[in-house]
Amino acid sequence: MKKFSLKRASVPSDQNRNALRGGSYSLVVTAIVLAILIAVNVFASALPKSMTNYDISSSKLYSITSNTKVVVNNLQQDVTIYWVVQSGEENDVIENLLSKYESLSDHIEVAKKNPDVYPTFTQQYTSESVPNNSLIVESGERSRYISYNDIYVQTTDMYSYSYSTSFDGEGAITSAIDYVVNEEQPKLYLVEGHGEADLPSTFAEQVEKDNIETESLSLLHTETIPEDADCLMIYAPESDISEDERDLLAEYVSGGGKLLVIAGPTREDGILENLYSLLSDYGVEPAEGIVVESDSNYYSAFSGPAALLPQLQSDDITDSLIGSNYSVIMPIALGLIVDDSASGTVTELLTTSGTSFSKVTGYAMTTYDYEDGDIDGPFATGVSVRPGDGEMVWFTSSYFLEDAYNASSSGANGDLVMNALADMIGGILAGYAINPLITLGAASIGLVSGWLWQTLPHTLRLGQRLLLSVVAAHVVGSIVINSLALHIFYGYAWSVLAARVPNALILTAVNTVLLRLLMENKAVMAAVKK
């Protein structure tokens, strides 16, 4: 009879036991992570919409920029935003944006006004017909009406004859808040008496929207520039200024005044010699004629070689356009030659290509080809001159702000000039500067956690040392230092900052688990030791 023997079950090796332990540990860690994620979701569901709705749209419809936060968090008086809308007609985007404003400051209250219930409410603020989802911003005796048509702005494509709609809710609301809480607004004087053109409608609306007051000024009828002038602007003059006016402007700028000039070549005089002599004082000379480009990459295909697409050079005035890949269109422009000795005082904002040249025949040119006597480029078509506390910003085309060219540049032309005004007179476009206290808070998170990890008793379990190190780091760096910085420098209310505490605790839990996983990973730790 054949004998059969029963084999004894083999005892698991140490390797297998470690694998089982590792698998069990991974399951435990996974369960912990899932538990944390569930807790985060539960917590998030209990938070207000203003804290949980994040902007994932390409046009940033729901976002609040740093400029708005600066304005809102520095409020010292109450502001009411009346939302005029019928029941059931509420715009979701506007509702979300208003909730964000309300959450930023205890001084902001949003009140809904149904015109069916309050039919005469808007009459005390405007005589216009008020469409649904319009807003009225009020503080004390000052108010501003924001039509729905100013929130969703329609623009026309000059080439395709199509319409596009853009959302500018934040810009309109923040501007209105700034207006109602500040009785004194920047003052821009428009110089007259030399055939200057009226400001194009689109640009004029932007100036008004940014709360810049305008007033006409004749230099021939004054011996001094008004003391309340934050900036002077000369727009598209047809004739030259006098020598006396020139001397008055030169004294104004050298004494700390701000001057914005938009003036290209004229049909009769070509170069306005007295006006452009203001630049000559700083090593900048105008080239005779009109600049054309021979390279099609540097001019508008729709308007021809004299409609320049100049290169934007880095400066506070141009950086926002460069970052967004915008192009400026400058038709019929004068070329500026900047002397090397002017560096430090003069900044070239817009420059033409190396293949550009100036047609000395000007408006009488009969060809875009290079001819004997034409002046070789490159040139500057926009400069900033900063002598001491004064400043001049100069653009050498009288036409580039016109509505048609501004629309063709997708608004870049107007934005460029508004950036120049903001640079000279300041305002809400300044945004945040680098804050050393916030930087210290961020750095301290790493420093505190590392120091505690090394100094805590090694008799503590790994998880305990890790948790204590991470918790202390976030308490010191995020909850204390960063919250203090936001309160001191930007005026965040403590009630708003309190919402950062649970956020810091969630980050602490997640960081602790992730660090624990990394420290338990032999491959990672081996790489760290190397």
DSSP string computed for 295-341? SGGGEETTTEEEEE-PEEPPSTTTHHHHHTT----EESB-EEEE-GG
Q: Is the pLDDT of residue 407 over 90?
A: no
Q: Is the pLDDT of residue 343 over 80?
A: no
Contacts of 92 (CB under 8 A, 6+ apart): none
* H or E stretch covering 215: strand 213-218
- CA 346/CA 333 separation, integer angstroms: 19
- CA 94/CA 148 separation, integer angstroms: 10
Beta bridge partners, 153, equal 166
40-60 pLDDT, tens digit per residue, is 455 544 444 444 443 333 334
pLDDT of residue 441: 66
Omega before residue 457 within 30° of 0, cis? no
Picking from 56-65, 113-122, 343-352, 390-399, which range would have the lowest pLDDT averaged per residue?
Answer: 56-65
More confident call, 253 vs 159? 253
- Token pair recorded at residue 119: 């039919």
274-316 pLDDT, tens digit per residue, is 999 999 989 999 999 999 999 999 998 888 999 999 999 999 8
The model's pTM is 0.64
- CA 211/CA 30 separation, integer angstroms: 55
473-516 pLDDT, tens digit per residue, is 778 877 788 777 666 654 555 655 565 677 677 777 777 777 77
pLDDT of residue 44: 46
Beta bridge partners, 307, equal 331
* H or E stretch covering 381: strand 380-385
- CA 286/CA 47 separation, integer angstroms: 61
pLDDT of residue 401: 94
More confident call, 88 vs 440? 88
pLDDT of residue 9: 42
Helices 92-104, 66-73: crossing angle, 10 deg rounding: 50
b/e code 452-461 from CB counts within 10 Å (16+ = b): beeeeeeeee
- Residue with tokens 């000279």, as numbered in its chain: 424
pLDDT > 90: percent of the chain: 45
- Domains defined for the chain, CATH in brackets: 61-183 (3.40.30.10), 186-424 (3.40.50.880), 435-529 (no CATH)
Q: What is the DSSP letter of 478?
A: I
- Token pair recorded at residue 148: 């729905």
Average pLDDT, the chain: 80
Give, in degrees to the nearest 5, the angle at Cα 155 between 325 and 322: 10
Picking from 110-114, 156-160, 319-323, which range would have the lowest pLDDT averaged per residue?
Answer: 156-160
Cα 66 to chain centroid distance, Å, stands at 8
How confident is residue 526, by pLDDT bands cut at 50, 70 and 90? low
Q: What is the DSSP letter of 91?
A: -
Cα 514 to chain centroid distance, Å, stands at 35
pLDDT of residue 299: 92
pLDDT of residue 373: 94
How confident is residue 38, by pLDDT bands cut at 50, 70 and 90? low
Over range 316-337, report the average pLDDT. 92
pLDDT of residue 14: 54
- CA 448/CA 474 separation, integer angstroms: 9
- CA 403/CA 400 separation, integer angstroms: 8
Q: What is the DSSP letter of 397?
A: B
pLDDT of residue 410: 85
Q: Is the pLDDT of residue 517 over 50?
A: yes
Over range 117-143, report the average pLDDT. 93
Question: Could you tell me if 269 and 402 are in contact, meaning their C-beta atoms sit under 8 angstroms apart?
Answer: no
How confident is residue 6, by pLDDT bands cut at 50, 70 and 90? very low
Biggest CA-to-CA distance, the chain:
133
- CA 188/CA 227 separation, integer angstroms: 12
pLDDT of residue 522: 66
- Strand, coil or helix: 90: coil
Contacts of 211 (CB under 8 A, 6+ apart): 175, 178, 179, 182, 185, 186, 427
Cα 425 to chain centroid distance, Å, stands at 16
Q: Is the pLDDT of residue 383 over 90?
A: yes
Q: Is the pLDDT of residue 36 over 60?
A: no
- Token pair recorded at residue 374: 């034409």
Beta bridge partners, 83, equal 112, 135
Picking from 88-92, 218-222, 266-270, 466-470, which range would have the lowest pLDDT averaged per residue?
Answer: 466-470
Q: What is the DSSP letter of 482?
A: I
- Token pair recorded at residue 48: 């207000």
185-224 pLDDT, tens digit per residue, is 889 999 999 999 999 998 998 898 888 899 999 998 888 9
